């Protein structure tokens, strides 16, 4: 699931769940009175009056749209309004109530209606504005008869241009095949073949009691994209094949390079029981009655992260979209990521880490993956397990194999280790609880010294010192429902005092210790010690931490 | 308290406008934080009292985003509420059932996701509420939480990871 999809899903769920939770006019009056000690002047306009004004304004400024196509309504009504409402220095992302009413009225005139329960219509009824992109998207969904993923390349490319026009993205990113390039149909055929070659096997046929046939539109829905590769020059074709049917949670993805060579064919698990629905194949009409939308709880299945320009910040996600999960990448793919990141800008810490990590391909003279894996398990004492991620990173004096190891026997153990790629020596061991919510997610694919150094530079020593306490002593979980699960992060439990790269945690409770952590210039702990408590109050025994060792 | 920089009438007008514009939004955020409607309504009241008392600070610091500033007050107010012993006994799933009828269609997945958000550890719930739900920018979220952008970014990544894990029943989400 991409971030934008998750964001939209969260916003939709919370908005829907809380849509009935509002303050009353009486409550707001009381809030004012209690805050100021006075009485406030009543509002002059009711929502009904606002709406009436909105509709009046809309009628007065209406564009004659009866003969326009849905795309022309977007181009001639929505986009100009979205452009005009931008301030000189900033892109305004919402239609005003008047603009929203105008756009919806224009859409209605050519037979496009939006569900009355949709948030857009609620906003309209309340005399409020609404997000420009979401509104245009919804009108297009109704017009094109399905969710974004299943629009044609041409429709996606056009939508992309509209988003460029209103300033939501910097430049068109979705591509259209040009002269001499693989055509849409050719690419589709190759992608179908790639998926079927890989997955139409005995296991699939036994599971589903039929052969995999992606060309059967009653069985599969196909989403096709064509966009720039994040790693290499050129463009990538990608197809997602979604089996129809609520009971299926599998889907399949394949990617081709611009010459039609298969890059990957991956089986994936969908994140939602409600997969996006595309229109029935024969439908091309534009009214809501004809538009198939069986998935109202998931109205915007948008791969908007793909619309972002490639940066070091999103390079891993983009690479994952083409090459599959990073846990399956080869050293060569990691090396390509490093090469691609070198010239890309980075804003986030993750982006900076990607730029700062020199992943390399394997070469003669280095331990092979199998040799390094054997060393990693042997030197950590882990026996029955597997690695979840493996990559090779250039370092001094020798390159380093980085592994995340998981042991499945006895106590479940999960470790991130660095192995000297020449000597097999254990260079770093980062032991952690899998479910520990404070672990930085990027520590599994970059050197400890790299992420810790950047963390230190970016945020100072506090976060790293807290991690060091957790790793050294315990998870310090308290029996306090709803409290932060790791109170070393809560200053009401341990008050941190920072002196250079040394952090002393003063405990509020006399029956728990203080801690002191000193970090080197790269953020690596050089000292992690318990000290007598400086607390004055006694924490009740039932609230004491479990104090289980990490492993 | 003197409010020389901001004449009384302007301050009152401003507070009045804020109450009209942001009370619902703050109420929902407080509810998600506290899992109790009554407590959330009290927290909203406290937020407005604090906002009124600190109007000078708002003016003096040239705060660009009033919503972010108000949400910061609201989140801190909720934090104080959360420290009370009473809070340990809240049943979050019942809290949702006690809400007024929804105006929008609520799917089972919506309920499940909302509960998951409510059950997140505080630091992750805060960023989800401010950044995703309230639509603040990364910088505004950081300002509202008194944290650095890097911290917010990190928490956001982890919160997304936790939510994705929850949405897929804990299974790997990229198969």
Report the Cα A330 to chain-centroid distance in Å: 23
pLDDT given at position B113: 81
Report the Cα B37 to chain-centroid distance in Å: 14
Report the Cα A190 to chain-centroid distance in Å: 29
Q: Examine residue A371 and state whether it is found in any structural domain, yes or no.
A: yes
Q: Examine residue A148 and state whether it is found in any structural domain, yes or no.
A: yes
Q: Would you kindly state where each structural domain of chain B is located, as residue ranges?
A: 8-167
Q: Examine residue A321 and state whether it is found in any structural domain, yes or no.
A: no
What topology does CATH give the domain B8-167? Butyryl-CoA Dehydrogenase, subunit A; domain 3 (1.20.140)
pLDDT given at position B83: 55
pLDDT of residue B132 exceeding 80, the answer is: yes
Which residues are registered as beta bridge partners of A428? A418
Please say whether the beta carbons of B69 and B36 come within 8 A: no
Give the number of domains in chain A.
4
Please say whether the beta carbons of A436 and A471 come within 8 A: no
Rounded average pLDDT over B3-8: 50
Residue of A nearest to B24 (CA): A22
Tell which residue, A342, A364, A371, A372, has the closest CA to residue A354: A342
Out of B106, B122, B164, closest to residue A1 by CB: B164
Q: Examine residue A320 and state whether it is found in any structural domain, yes or no.
A: no
Domain shared by A191 and A265, yes or no: yes
Q: Provide the 8-state DSSP code for B170.
A: T
Q: Examine residue A525 and state whether it is found in any structural domain, yes or no.
A: yes
Phi and psi of B54, rounded to 5°? -105, 20
Domain shared by A361 and A503, yes or no: no
Q: Examine residue A398 and state whether it is found in any structural domain, yes or no.
A: yes
Domain shared by A304 and A361, yes or no: no
| Separation of alpha carbons A404 and A394, rounded Å | 17
Q: Provide the 8-state DSSP code for A313.
A: T
Does the bond joining A397 to the residue before it have cis omega, within 30 degrees of 0? yes
Q: Percent of chain B having pLDDT more than 70?
A: 71
| Separation of alpha carbons B149 and A352, rounded Å | 14
Please say whether the beta carbons of A406 and A385 come within 8 A: yes
| Separation of alpha carbons B130 and B136, rounded Å | 6
Domain shared by A222 and A265, yes or no: yes
Please say whether the beta carbons of A394 and A386 come within 8 A: no
How many cross-chain Cβ pairs, A to B, lie less than 8 Å apart?
A: 187
pLDDT given at position A525: 92
Q: Which of A420, A448, A476 is the last residue of a domain?
A: A448
Domain shared by A539 and A497, yes or no: yes
Domain shared by A410 and A537, yes or no: no
Residues 89-108 of B with CB under 8 A from A: 90, 96, 99-107
Q: Where are the alpha helices (DSSP H) in A40-178?
A: 47-60, 70-73, 79-84, 97-109, 119-125, 132-144, 153-165
pLDDT given at position B169: 53
Out of B15, B41, B171, closest to residue A32 by CB: B15
pLDDT given at position A397: 94
Residue of A nearest to B50 (CA): A35
User: Which chain A residues are Cβ-neighbours of B106 within 8 angstroms?
Assistant: 16-17
Domain shared by A194 and A268, yes or no: yes
Domain shared by A271 and A154, yes or no: no
The chain-wide mean pLDDT, for chain B, equals 74
| Separation of alpha carbons A539 and B121, rounded Å | 21
pLDDT given at position A83: 81
Report the Cα B13 to chain-centroid distance in Å: 24
pLDDT given at position A84: 81
Q: Provide the 8-state DSSP code for A43.
A: P
pLDDT given at position A290: 31
CB atoms near residue A84 (< 10 Å):
9
Residue A181 three-state SS: coil
pTM over 0.90: no
Show the domain range for A15: 3-165
In which element (H, E) is residue B150 found? helix B149-167
Residues 6+ apart with CB under 8 A from A38: A32, B12
| Separation of alpha carbons A480 and A544, rounded Å | 9
pLDDT in tens, B81-126: 765 544 444 444 555 566 655 555 567 777 778 888 887 877 788 8
User: Which chain A residues are Cβ-neighbours of B94 within 8 angstroms?
Assistant: none
Q: Examine residue A174 and state whether it is found in any structural domain, yes or no.
A: no
Domain shared by A140 and A228, yes or no: no
Domain shared by A349 and A417, yes or no: yes
Q: Provide the 8-state DSSP code for A147.
A: -
Q: Provide the 8-state DSSP code for B102.
A: P
Contact criterion met (CB < 8 Å) for A27 and B133: no
- Digit-by-digit pLDDT tens for chain A (551 residues) are 566 677 778 888 888 888 778 888 778 888 888 887 654 433 323 334 344 444 444 554 455 556 788 899 999 999 989 888 775 445 567 888 899 999 999 999 888 888 888 888 888 888 888 888 888 988 998 888 777 778 888 888 888 888 878 876 666 666 788 888 899 999 999 999 999 998 998 888 888 889 999 999 889 988 888 887 767 777 889 898 888 876 777 788 898 988 899 888 888 765 443 444 443 333 333 222 232 333 333 222 333 334 456 788 888 877 877 777 777 788 988 999 999 898 888 888 889 999 999 999 999 999 999 999 989 988 888 776 777 789 999 999 999 999 988 766 555 567 789 999 999 999 988 765 444 445 567 888 999 999 999 999 988 999 889 888 877 775 444 333 333 445 677 776 788 999 999 999 998 888 888 999 999 999 999 999 999 999 888 876 655 554 332 21
Report the Cα A20 to chain-centroid distance in Å: 29
Give the distance from residue B68's alpha carbon to the nearest chain A alpha carbon, in angstroms. 17
Domain shared by A395 and A537, yes or no: no
Q: Which of A165, A197, A221 is the last residue of a domain?
A: A165
Residues A510-543, buried b or exposed e (16+ Cβ, 10 A)? Answer: eebbbbbbbbeebbebeebeeeeebbeeebeeee
CA distances from A437 to A194, A440, A441, A474, A488 (A): 38, 8, 9, 14, 13
Domain shared by A10 and A157, yes or no: yes
Q: Provide the 8-state DSSP code for B131.
A: I
Helix, strand, coil % (nearest 5) of chain B?
75, 0, 25
Label the pairing between strands A525-531 and A514-519.
Answer: antiparallel
User: Which chain A residues are Cβ-neighbours of B128 within 8 angstroms?
Assistant: 10
| B73: contact with A, CB 8 A cutoff | no
| Separation of alpha carbons B143 and B140, rounded Å | 5
- This complex has an ipTM of 0.83
């Amino acid at each position: 699931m991409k971030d934008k999809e998750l964001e939209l899903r969260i916003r939709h769920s919370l908005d829907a769940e809380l849509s009935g939770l509002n303050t009353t006019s009486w409550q707001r009056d009381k809030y004012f009175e209690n805050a100021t000690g006075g009485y406030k002047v009543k509002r002059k306009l009711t929502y009904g009056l606002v709406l009436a004004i909105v509709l009046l304004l809309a009628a007065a400024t209406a564009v004659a749209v009866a003969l326009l196509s849905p795309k022309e309504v977007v181009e001639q009504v929505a986009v100009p309004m979205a452009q005009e409402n931008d301030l000189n220095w900033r892109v305004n992302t919402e239609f005003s109530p008047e603009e929203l009413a105008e756009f919806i009225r224009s859409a209605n005139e050519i037979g496009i209606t939006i569900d009355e329960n949709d948030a857009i219509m609620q906003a309209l009824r309340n005399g409020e504005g609404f997000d420009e992109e979401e509104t245009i998207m919804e009108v297009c969904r109704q017009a094109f008869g399905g969710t974004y993923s299943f629009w044609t390349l041409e429709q996606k490319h056009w939508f992309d241009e509209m988003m460029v026009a209103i300033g939501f993205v910097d430049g068109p990113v979705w591509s259209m095949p040009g002269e001499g390039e693989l055509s849409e149909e050719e690419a589709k055929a190759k992608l179908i073949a790639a998926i079927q070659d890989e997955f139409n096997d005995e296991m699939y046929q036994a599971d589903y009691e039929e052969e995999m046939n992606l060309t059967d539109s009653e069985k599969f829905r196909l989403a096709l994209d064509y966009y720039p590769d994040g790693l290499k020059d050129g463009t990538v074709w990608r197809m997602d094949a979604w089996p129809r049917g609520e009971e299926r949670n599998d889907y399949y993805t394949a990617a081709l390079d611009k010459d039609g060579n298969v890059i990957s064919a991956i089986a994936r698990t969908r994140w939602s029981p409600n997969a996006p629905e595309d229109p029935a194949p024969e439908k091309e009409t534009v009214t809501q009655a004809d538009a198939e939308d069986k998935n109202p709880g998931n109205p915007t299945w948008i791969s908007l992260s793909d619309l972002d320009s490639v940066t070091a910040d999103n390079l891993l996600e983009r690479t994952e979209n083409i090459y599959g999960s990073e846990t399956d990448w080869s050293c060569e793919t990691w090396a390509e990521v490093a090469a691609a990141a070198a010239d890309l800008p980075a804003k986030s810490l993750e982006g900076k880490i990607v730029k700062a990590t020199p992943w390399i391909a394997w070469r003669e003279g280095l331990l092979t993956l199998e040799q390094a894996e054997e060393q990693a398990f042997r030197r950590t004492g882990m026996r029955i397990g597997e690695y979840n991620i493996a990559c090779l990173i250039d370092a001094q004096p020798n390159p380093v194999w980085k592994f995340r190891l998981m042991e499945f026997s006895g106590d479940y153990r999960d470790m991130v280790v660095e192995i000297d790629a020449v000597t097999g020596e254990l260079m770093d061991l980062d032991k952690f609880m899998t479910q520990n919510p404070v672990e930085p997610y990027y520590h599994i694919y970059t050197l400890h010294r790299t992420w810790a150094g950047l963390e230190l530079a970016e945020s100072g020593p506090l976060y790293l010192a807290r991690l060091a306490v957790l790793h050294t002593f315990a998870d310090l979980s308290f029996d306090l429902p709803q409290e932060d699960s790791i109170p070393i992060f809560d200053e009401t439990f341990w008050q941190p005092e920072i002196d250079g790269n040394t952090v002393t945690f003063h405990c509020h409770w006399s029956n728990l210790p203080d801690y002191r952590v000193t970090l080197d210039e790269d953020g690596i702990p050089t000292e992690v010690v318990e000290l007598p408590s400086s607390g004055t109050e006694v924490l009740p025994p039932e609230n004491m931490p479990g104090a289980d060792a990490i492993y | 308290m003197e409010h020389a920089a901001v004449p009384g009438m302007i301050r009152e007008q401003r507070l009045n406008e804020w109450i009209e514009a942001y009370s619902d939004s703050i109420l929902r955020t407080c509810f998600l934080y506290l899992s109790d409607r009554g407590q959330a309504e009290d927290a909203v009241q406290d937020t407005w009292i604090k906002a009124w008392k600190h109007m000078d600070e708002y003016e003096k610091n040239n705060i660009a985003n009033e919503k972010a500033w108000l949400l910061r007050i609201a989140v801190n107010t909720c934090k104080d509420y959360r420290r009370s012993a009473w809070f340990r006994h809240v049943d979050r799933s019942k809290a949702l059932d006690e809400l007024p009828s929804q105006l929008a269609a609520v799917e089972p997945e919506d309920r499940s996701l909302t509960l998951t958000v409510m059950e997140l550890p505080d630091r992750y719930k805060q960023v989800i509420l401010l950044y995703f739900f309230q639509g603040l920018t990364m910088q505004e979220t950081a300002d509202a939480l008194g944290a650095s952008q890097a911290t917010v970014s990190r928490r956001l990544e982890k919160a997304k990871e936790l939510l994705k894990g929850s949405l897929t029943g804990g299974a790997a989400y990229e198969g």
